Structure 1
């Protein structure tokens, strides 16, 4: 019954919210965000706990202010995502204004293939739709299989409708498919700031230990593709903002695992800088740091409202079997 209800609610979102006028959808999203924030549920308190590490000088009042803004940003993501399939091509093209786009354009022109790695910031679905629509470049991503299966099918159909190729993270074939796409000069996009598997790569993140999937780095090491970090944020306008950062260089020495580990740490550093600039747009409503996970374990794939998949797009770690080479994606 719970699975059917979850599926029905998401179906209602895509079926009803996308028909609302944009100002009405904006007001609805803000009202839902403020209500959820006022309830002080687990997602909100966890968001504040995470923000306390990002903004260590913030007092309790500042953290509550940031978490309220964070919930509004989070619901803006969902309202936009529910409505995105109904947006016109021109609306999508005008909806994102990235800086540093030449890193992506030049990388694709080189024929080496490009891996874009993103944290859970602002609206990565809109950024992806912009790439396929404005640049005319298809890309491949990975999603965790959700329960119920009908909900997973909804998300796959939604993202494929935006021009993305979506691979399931189970079954062991995703990494090989991603590698082939890159060797053919293609584009792979992975959301990669959270990994709860036992094989995630340890990184220092805001001064404490966390694990992140090494998939983006490992793909770069193995295929020669460029690894480009991307950070996103909202401003006061209706236009999503973003930055494509310079490529992360593959270390000249070390084993494949050592190279991937070093690159994952550099990726974490870029993510941390972007999140510190726009902490309210980091949608991390789950435990991330090892200290928090040790306090009360939270298994991978545990959902929070609006995050059926737990975390977002998966990437293969340095080691592990074919079936566990991926983290999970916030579908």
Structure 2
């Protein structure tokens, strides 16, 4: 019954909201955001706890102001996502303003391929649709498989209609890592959301002065294939979403001093330098986290992190190997099939 309710709610969004006038849709979703914010449920309280890490000097009034803006930004993501399937190429172009595009085009034109790595900021679906339709780079991403299954399938079909190849994180017939590596070696583009570790096997980093884990996937893939690792930050500016493609995160020199790109170029990427590769991956993930922290600090209201992120907030297992506690969020409260970075 719960799965049917969740699916019906999303289906209603796709069927009805994309036909509403823009102003009416925005007003409706602002009202939903404000109602959730006033209720002060677990997600809103967690958002405020996260925002306090970003703005530790914020008093209670400022924190509440930021969390209200954050909920409106988060619901704007959903409003736009429900309407994206009927947006024209021109409408998508009008909605985006991008800095640093030369970092992406340079990597792609060189034939290296690239990994765009994003935090949960702005609207990553809109950014992906813009890359595919305006720049002309179809890309591959990974989606977390959530229930119900037919909702996951609908999200996959929706994202594929925007120009994305979507690989399920689990339960698929192909190796996710192997497929992504093949795409990058062919000079293609991969896009991954990577500021929250879903596997509990991520790399520990320092983020806003505290320890957390982030997926190793984006950095590890670039080390394995020689592709460019490009962190991106997104934020809303009135009716436009702005994106900044930051310069490539380079691996620290290690082993033979040529880095991953040089080893991949002459076919030596699997030469057994396990410790070197692990240290390089950790350094690159930390560099990504630092870039994202700068963007989030500038636009905290557009960081949609409504889950526990820092290790200090996560439950501690009583015994090694004990099952993890159930997540705080109720089923259906997170974006179904959101791009995953692990």
TM-score by length of 2: 0.88
Q: Does 1:250 align with 2:251?
A: yes
Of residues 284, 300, 320, the one that matches 1:263 is: 284
How many angstroms apart in 2 are the aligned matches of 1:263 and 1:116? 13
Q: Provide closer, same or farther for how the CA distance between residues 301 and 107 of structure 1 changes in structure 2, counting only shifts above 3 A.
A: farther
How big is each residue's C-alpha offset from its partner over 1:69-116, in whole Å with a ceiling of 9 and x where there is no partner?
000000110000000001111101221101011100111001000000
How big is each residue's C-alpha offset from its partner over 1:268-300, in whole Å with a ceiling of 9 and x where there is no partner?
000111000000000000000000003797556
How many angstroms apart in 2 are the aligned matches of 1:244 and 1:125? 16
Aligned residues: 314
How big is each residue's C-alpha offset from its partner over 1:182-232, in whole Å with a ceiling of 9 and x where there is no partner?
000000000000004221110000000000001000001000000000000
Contact map agreement 2:230 2:249 (CA 8 A) in 1: yes
Match for residue 153 of structure 1?
Answer: 153
How many angstroms apart in 2 are the aligned matches of 1:163 and 1:303? 30
Alignment of 1:106-121 (within 5 A): 106-121=106-121
Contact map agreement 2:151 2:336 (CA 8 A) in 1: no
Q: Does 1:9 align with 2:9?
A: yes
Match for residue 280 of structure 1?
Answer: 301
The 3-state SS of whatever aligns with 1:23 is helix
Structure 1: runs of 5 or more not aligned:
316-325, 327-331
Match for residue 82 of structure 2?
Answer: 82
Pairwise CA distance, 1:173: 0.6
How big is each residue's C-alpha offset from its partner over 1:223-269, in whole Å with a ceiling of 9 and x where there is no partner?
00000000000012x11101000000011116111111110000000
How many angstroms apart in 2 are the aligned matches of 1:111 and 1:218? 19
Flag the structure with larger Rg: 2
250-259 or 30-39, larger mean C-alpha shift: 250-259
How many angstroms apart in 1 are the aligned matches of 2:27 and 2:293? 31
Match for residue 233 of structure 2?
Answer: 231
TM-score by length of 1: 0.91
Q: Provide closer, same or farther for how the CA distance between residues 300 and 225 of structure 1 changes in structure 2, counting only shifts above 3 A.
A: farther
Match for residue 179 of structure 1?
Answer: 181
Q: Does 1:204 align with 2:206?
A: yes
Pairwise CA distance, 1:308: 4.2
Structure 2: runs of 5 or more not aligned:
256-275, 318-323
How many angstroms apart in 2 are the aligned matches of 1:96 and 1:55? 27
How many angstroms apart in 2 are the aligned matches of 1:264 and 1:293? 20
Match for residue 320 of structure 1?
Answer: none
How many angstroms apart in 2 are the aligned matches of 1:90 and 1:115? 26
C-alpha root-mean-square deviation of aligned residues, in Å? Answer: 1.7
How many angstroms apart in 1 are the aligned matches of 2:141 and 2:293? 22
The 3-state SS of whatever aligns with 2:56 is coil
225-234 or 247-256, larger mean C-alpha shift: 247-256
How many angstroms apart in 2 are the aligned matches of 1:134 and 1:298? 43
How many angstroms apart in 2 are the aligned matches of 1:308 and 1:298? 20
